[in-house]
Amino acid sequence: MAKSIQMNELTLGVCYYPEHWPEELWEDDFRRMREMNISVIRMAEFAWAMLEPEEGRFDFRFFRRVMDLAHQYGLKVILGTPTATPPAWLTHKYPEVLNANVEGVLYRHGMRRHYNYSSPKYRELCARIVRNMVEAYKEHPSVIGWQIDNELNCETNEFYSEADHIAFRAWLQERYGSLNNLNHAWGTVFWSQTYTDWEQVYLTRPMVNHSPNPHLALDEKRFISANTFSFAKIQADIIRELSPQHWVTTNGTFGHLDNHELTDELLDFFSYDSYPQFSTIFPSSDENPLGDRAWSMNLSNVRSMSPNFCIMEQQAGPGGWVDRIEMGSPRPGQIRLWSYQSVLHGTDLLVYFRWRTATFGTEIYWHGINDYHNRPNRRVREVAQVGEEFAKIGSFIAGTAYQAEVAIMQDYDNVWDGELDKWHGPLQRQSVRSWYKQLQYQHIPTDLITLGTKTKLEALLQYKVIVYPHPAIMTDETATLMTQYVEHGGKLVFGARTGYKDTYGQCYMQPFPGPVAGLCGITVEDFTLIKGTIGASELHWEGSRLPSGTKAVGFNEVLSVESPDVEVVAAYATEYYKGQPALTRRAVGQGKVWYYGAAFSEPVVDALIDEMELTSPAADWLDAPAEVEVGIRSANGSSFLFVLNYSGEQVTLTLKKSTVDLLTGAELDGTIEMPAYGVMVMKILTP
């Protein structure tokens, strides 16, 4: 069951680090926050050395003073547990708590997240600081909730300390029962990797060519996820035991962690840290990149854990570390635009990072709302505007949820297996990007969902279309669920490399696509990676809007029709498999299934959008150019249409029905000019 934050109105907060500032500043800071309609602060998540300056000596006075003052100003407080930054005394005395790189070299004090989750000593010391901290602050009237640690698996999501190797062995013993089973699951007879004693088993260590056993590599990621979960659970259990009146969350979506399970089992809702500018600072091979708008895909993933969630850190200025991460300044309007990007996708509590830029440390260029000098600047004015607007629209919007009829589906096993496996991982990244992008440009709201062992048919049936691009690992249970989805009326799309691996990442001795060959009514007769000797074949797709010369990228599978009711939609037009089927369609029950033997490129996605007769749910309300994102939040018969202009140019919208911009109160009808980086929120009627 999806778990959402419960807010009565859209609420603004800010990350505050009182330990970075002279105490004389606090009061002025809090007064100005209230003037900007900021009513929540998040703090203490890195303050272990202040809360426990020496082993076993706790001092909670400093933050109590801050909280007393915050309370006077009507500010609510989210407290972070400080376990992402063990103090120097701790790692010096107990070096076994440190994480190590794959060579076994320990990460030392001086940065953050340099610990491992496995060391019994670290778990004990974390449990103790958390227990003492919760005891100390649980009655404080300002506290509303707790954040566990900070960004689990950020900075690194690999763990190779001694304690981790030991914990991995224990996890494997539990999972496989015997070494014999483990040897089978990992196919260790290959290259004489057979284990004869558990002590011989390790997480990845330095290997020739850095090539670990692929089945071990998959289990390593599953182990890291389970281990991170059990580390977080210690804290969640303590907070729930001592402070049941408060909510529990954690922030960030980082690798090798099943955040869905974490949310379902441990949290009240998920929180995310949104820095859209990250998607603009790395070179992209895309001709038509989504840029900062690509961040909507990350937010869509967060929504699949919590339809309404908290943004624990929202970008409030250019980001920068002293030695890495260089960003230009957000242009005027972009901080506000990105705030509404988060709101559109489901945030009801939006906390900016951070109140004021730090004057010391690694993050002196990670800009907060305020500059070092503390005078009003344009970022302060922009956030104040968001504050004013939240006061106007916040009570209507809170609790409404993003609406989508299309879902792109993924699952952790395939994502993790695909990190190492070059024969399907890259296809997944290419295809998910193409689908999300083209659906965005055509204003078709899309969810990004994660299939898990607990996913029920009902959850899938809320979507008209599910794209499950390259599920290489496919169990019989998943195949059954997919078949039921189609039989009940769903439209399902698969791409190349579907269904050829089992749950250990071993290949089935069956024609592809293995467990869903029957559903799709095809098998793969021949196939090639697009590399070296073979260039991607062109596609022939009669009656589609595919530009001539469009290629089937990434991988080409030559399909063989096995069932008389299969229709060949498109064929390969060049290469030695010219004329053979590339894309098929089959009606099954009340639904349809498509199988495409390649990775999805943008033109192919556009043609498939037509083929599946997908249209924008906003089409009755407006015509908008591709530069804007269009989405709808609804609940209980109220619907709100968000239009976000990511471009630096004014754009023209044509409204087909008159309505009101709730942010300005302006009547909207006919042709509307929307400014660069503009935002509009309109109340609309939906069927």
Among 17, 353, 416, 640, binds ligand GAL (CB under 6 A): 353
CB-nearer residue toward ligand GAL: 367 or 433: 367
Nearer to ligand GAL, 17 or 441 (CB): 17
**What is the rounded CA–CA span in Å between residue 304 and residue 93?**
42
Q: How many residues make up the chain in this entry?
A: 687
Which parts of 243-362 fold into alpha helices (H)? 259-266, 295-303, 334-344
161/357 with CB nearer ligand GAL: 357
Cα–Cα distance measured from residue 12 to residue 33, given in angstroms and rounded to the nearest whole number? 10
Cβ 259 to ligand GAL, closest distance in Å? 15
- Distance from chain centroid for Cα 660: 33
Q: Shortest gap between Cβ of 196 and ligand GAL (angstroms)?
A: 44
Is residue 61 within 8 Å of 78, Cβ to Cβ?
Answer: no
Q: How far is the CB of 251 from ligand GAL (least distance, A)?
A: 7
Q: Is 313 an annotated catalytic residue? A: yes
Q: How far is the CB of 347 from ligand GAL (least distance, A)?
A: 16
Task: Looking at residues 119 to 178 of the shown chain, list those that interact with ligand GAL (rule: CB under 6 A).
Answer: 150-151, 154
Distance CA 18, CA 28 (A): 12
Told to check if 619 binds ligand GAL by CB under 6 A, we report no
DSSP 417-460: HHHH-TTTHHHHHHHHHHHHHHHHHTT--EEEEE--TT--HHHH
Q: Return the number of the residue (364 or 568) whose C-beta is nearest ligand GAL.
A: 364
Restricting to residues 234-293, which ones interact with ligand GAL according to CB under 6 A? 273
Joined tokens for residue 493: 């799309």
Cβ–Cβ under 8 Å, residues 488 and 430: no
Report the residue from 16, 247, 309, 366 that binds ligand GAL according to the rule CB under 6 A: 366
Residues 58-117 touching ligand GAL, rule: CB under 6 A, are none
How far apart (Å, rounded) are the C-alpha atoms in residues 532 and 530?
7
Q: Is 19 in the site for ligand GAL (CB under 6 A)?
A: no
C-alpha span between 508 and 195 (Å, rounded)? 24
Q: Tell me if 661 contacts ligand GAL by CB under 6 A.
A: no
Q: Which of 324, 456 has the CB closer to ligand GAL? A: 324
Sign of the Cα pseudo-torsion (349, 2, 680, 441, in order): positive
> Min. distance of Cβ 273 from ligand GAL in angstroms?
5
Contact in structure between 434 and 609 (CB atoms under 8 Å): no
Binding flag, residue 577, ligand GAL (CB under 6 A)? no
Q: How far is the CB of 252 from ligand GAL (least distance, A)?
A: 7
Q: How many residues bind ligand GAL (CB under 6 A)?
A: 9
- Least separation, in Å, of the C-beta of 171 and ligand GAL? 28
| CA 572 remoteness from chain centre | 35
Q: What angle do CA 59, 61, 66 make, to 5 degrees?
A: 135
Quick check: 359 and 20 in contact, CB under 8 A? yes
Q: For residues 581 and 522, is the Cβ–Cβ distance under 8 A?
A: yes
Going by C-alpha positions, the residue among 88, 60, 59, 70 that lies closest to residue 30 is: 70
Neighbours of 529 (CB within 10 A): 16
Nearer of residues 30 and 366 to ligand GAL, judged by Cβ: 366
> Is 562 a binder of ligand GAL (CB under 6 A)?
no
Identify which of residues 363 and 562 has a Cβ nearer to ligand GAL in the complex. Answer: 363
Q: Output 269 or 577, the one with its CB closest to ligand GAL.
A: 269
Residue 594 lies near ligand GAL (rule: CB under 6 A): no
- Write down the least CB distance from residue 212 to ligand GAL, Å: 28
> In the complex, what is the shortest distance from the CB of residue 145 to ligand GAL, in angstroms, rounded to a whole number?
17
Query: For the window 319-338, what string marks contact with ligand GAL as x by the rule CB under 6 A?
Result: x-------------------
Contact partners, residue 676, CB within 8 Å, separation at least 6: 331, 333, 645, 647, 648, 649, 650
Report how far residue 98's alpha carbon sits from residue 106's, in angstroms, rounded to the nearest whole number: 6
Tell me how far, at minimum, the Cβ of 518 lies from ligand GAL, in Å. Answer: 45
**By the 8 A CB rule, do 350 and 393 touch?**
no
Query: Which member of 220, 313, 382, 557 is catalytic?
Result: 313
Q: How far apart are CA 471 and CA 593, in angstroms?
A: 15
Nearer to ligand GAL, 353 or 468 (CB): 353
Looking at beta carbons only, is 253 or 523 nearer to ligand GAL?
253
* 358 is a contact residue toward ligand GAL (CB under 6 A): no
The one-letter amino acid code at 461 reads: L
Give the x-and-dash track for 426-465 against ligand GAL (CB under 6 A): ----------------------------------------
Whether residue 88 contacts residue 45, with contact meaning beta carbons closer than 8 Å, is answered with no
User: In this structure, what DSSP letter does residue 96 have?
Assistant: G
Residue 50 CA neighbour count, 13 Å, CB half:
16
Catalytic residue among 52, 151, 261, 629: 151
Our finding on whether 525 is near ligand GAL (CB under 6 A) is: no
Q: What are phi and psi of 210, to 5 degrees?
A: 55, 35
Give the nearest distance from C-beta 635 to ligand GAL in angstroms. Answer: 30
Q: Are 672 and 655 in contact (CB under 8 A)?
A: yes
Alpha carbons within 13 A on the beta-carbon side of 541: 27
Task: Please say whether the beta carbons of 198 and 173 come within 8 A.
Answer: yes
Nearer to ligand GAL, 84 or 179 (CB): 84
Residue 671 identity: T
162 is catalytic: no
Do residues 613 and 544 touch, judged by C-beta distance below 8 A? no
Burial of 619 (0-12, 13-18, 19+ CB in 10 A): middle
CB of 315: closest distance to ligand GAL in angstroms?
9
In this complex, which beta carbon is closest to ligand GAL, that of residue 42 or of residue 586? 42
Instruction: Tell which one of 219, 220, 313, 538 touches ligand GAL (CB under 6 A).
Output: 313
**Residue ranges that bind ligand GAL, judged by CB under 6 A:** 150-151, 154, 273, 313, 319, 353, 363, 366
- Which residues have a catalytic role annotated? 151, 313
